């Protein structure tokens, strides 16, 4: 396949929410209680909700920074590439990278909205709804041909979760982001069918996918006090296997045949060993009497799951053992893992090296994701205009320069002055 003929759909990217995102979506009586951005004495922009700060860290928005400036230190909006938080610039950046469509996980709320949900009160339900309205109607809604929307849930309230699933589904949203390991957030585990059963049933009823993004389960990694941050970043992908175990061997996948799970940013390398281990355990440890309805655990997993990768050159050679219908690609823009603006070249080189033919390439780069999330890529965009080559032709003027953070801040100030 020629790189210009690729079609790329990324099911794991991120948005750093603009400061005014709640302004048009919170009912007037709750405006004063909405999360807001405050700039501290060091020039760092921080989200504040109910008196608690949630910083925007540098690793969330390093695209177009020199690698030596990457880090965990907080950043202001002025230092970021505008495509990080401006939807119009995001689409231009997507086109320059040849990406047709993107699913954007949240930033300041936490990937599973934990930073909101730590406040278990009715106002938080209002803020979750407002966030979803912004994301679905304003972010994804600005370019419905370019975004697959994803919603937050008030995870501490099953009744409110079910209501919000139905509400966002009615708006056309077919994905929600939830904790990998809810017991780490003080919630019942996914084994608790009394708590999660109504939620699982509602997800099935509404055909909504449950997305589990790495990082929400960091608490499962008990690191040495003197361990470097590298340990957390490298081992985070293994939490996907822990989450899968709770879902495969608990009631979720075994009792809800229509339930769908997307494992986000965990890659696919953990899957072959995990599934082999599951099947061996199931067939060998018969005394435990688990019931998978006459199927192997690996078969149950493949019926329910989709996993995505940024780069996974070795595991792609095992794509058929993993399940060719269970693999999707992600860009991870604007994080440090992403390839921008040369993702198409990276994707094709890796798949070609793995021996993938055109049929396998199409499944991994767009078909599996679009099928799983029920999103028609050509509903608004003719196929011939959805390719890498066609999209890049519309964005040849996009600046791909690597600039220091101070330079981005200077350009931001210059733009603000011009608009004043």
Helix axes 239-249, 297-304, angle to 10 degrees: 100
Q: What is the spatial distance between Cα 398 and Cα 356, in angstroms, rounded to a whole number? A: 31
Tokens of 142: 């600005």
What pLDDT is attached to residue 10?
A: 98
Mean pLDDT of 250-261: 96
Q: Is 41 exposed, middle or buried (0-12, 13-18, 19+ CB in 10 A)?
A: exposed
The domain tally of the chain equals 1
pLDDT tens track for 159-187: 999 999 999 999 999 999 999 999 999 99
**Domain extent for 327:** 3-419
Lowest mean pLDDT among 77-81, 202-206, 353-357: 77-81
Q: Would you say residue 248 has pLDDT above 90?
A: yes
Tokens of 124: 């938080």
The CATH number linked to 282 is 3.20.20.140
What pLDDT is attached to residue 56?
A: 66
C-alpha gyration radius of the chain? 21
Q: Would you say residue 360 has pLDDT above 90?
A: yes
pTM: 0.96
Q: What is the spatial distance between Cα 166 and Cα 160, in angstroms, rounded to a whole number? A: 10
Tokens of 414: 């210059």
For residue 194, name the pLDDT band (cuts at 50, 70, 90): very high
pLDDT tens track for 8-54: 999 999 999 999 999 999 999 999 999 999 988 877 889 999 998 87
Q: What is the spatial distance between Cα 134 and Cα 143, in angstroms, rounded to a whole number? A: 13
Mean pLDDT of 93-102: 98
pLDDT tens track for 300-320: 999 999 999 999 999 999 999
Say if CB 118 and CB 128 are below 8 A apart.
Answer: no
Helix (H) / strand (E) element for 122: namely helix 122-133
Q: Would you say residue 55 has pLDDT above 70?
A: no
Say if CB 221 and CB 232 are below 8 A apart.
Answer: yes
What pLDDT is attached to residue 101?
A: 98
Q: Would you say residue 390 has pLDDT above 70?
A: yes
Q: What is the mean pLDDT of the chain?
A: 94
Q: Would you say residue 209 has pLDDT above 70?
A: yes
**Strand-strand pairing, 305-309 and 175-178:** unpaired
What pLDDT is attached to residue 416?
A: 86
pLDDT tens track for 111-146: 999 999 999 999 999 999 999 999 999 999 999 999
């Amino acid at each position: 396949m020629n790189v210009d003929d690729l079609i790329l759909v990324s099911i794991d990217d991120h948005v750093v929410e603009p400061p005014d995102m709640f302004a048009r979506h919170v009912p007037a009586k709750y405006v004063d209680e909405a999360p807001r951005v405050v700039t501290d004495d060091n020039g760092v922009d921080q989200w504040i909700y109910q008196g608690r700060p949630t910083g925007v860290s540098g690793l969330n928005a390093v695209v177009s920074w020199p690698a030596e400036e990457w880090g965990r230190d907080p950043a202001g909006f002025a230092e970021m590439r505008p495509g990080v938080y401006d939807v119009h610039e995001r689409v231009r950046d997507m086109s320059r990278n040849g990406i047709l469509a993107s699913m954007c996980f949240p930033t300041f709320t936490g990937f599973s909205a934990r930073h909101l949900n730590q406040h278990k009160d009715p106002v938080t339900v209002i803020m979750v709804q407002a966030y979803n309205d912004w994301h679905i109607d304003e972010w994804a809604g600005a370019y419905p041909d370019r975004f697959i929307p994803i919603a937050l849930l008030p995870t501490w309230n099953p009744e409110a979760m079910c209501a919000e699933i139905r509400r966002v589904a009615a708006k056309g949203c077919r994905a929600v982001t939830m904790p990998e390991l809810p017991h780490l957030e003080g919630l019942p585990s996914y084994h608790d069918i009394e708590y999660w059963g109504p939620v699982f049933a509602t997800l099935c009823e509404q055909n909504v996918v449950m997305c589990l993004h790495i990082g929400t389960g960091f608490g499962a990694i008990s690191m040495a006090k003197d361990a470097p941050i590298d340990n957390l970043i490298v081992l985070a992908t293994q939490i996907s296997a822990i989450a899968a175990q709770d879902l495969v061997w608990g009631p979720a996948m075994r009792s809800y045949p229509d339930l769908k799970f997307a494992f986000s940013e965990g890659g696919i390398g953990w899957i072959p060993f995990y599934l082999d281990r599951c099947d061996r355990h199931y067939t060998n440890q018969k005394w435990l009497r688990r019931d998978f309805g006459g199927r192997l655990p690996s078969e149950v997993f493949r019926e329910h799951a989709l996993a995505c990768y940024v780069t996974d050159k070795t595991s792609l050679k095992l794509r058929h053992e993993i399940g060719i219908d269970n693999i999707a690609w992600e860009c991870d823009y604007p994080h440090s893992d992403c390839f921008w603006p040369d993702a198409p070249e990276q994707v094709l080189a890796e798949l070609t090296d793995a021996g993938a033919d055109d049929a396998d390439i199409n499944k991994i780069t767009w078909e599996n994701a679009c099928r799983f999330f029920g999103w028609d890529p050509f509903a608004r965009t003719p196929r011939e205009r959805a390719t890498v080559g066609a999209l890049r032709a519309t964005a040849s003027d996009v600046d791909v320069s690597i600039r220091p953070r101070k330079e981005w801040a200077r350009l931001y100030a210059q733009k603000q002055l011009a608009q004043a």
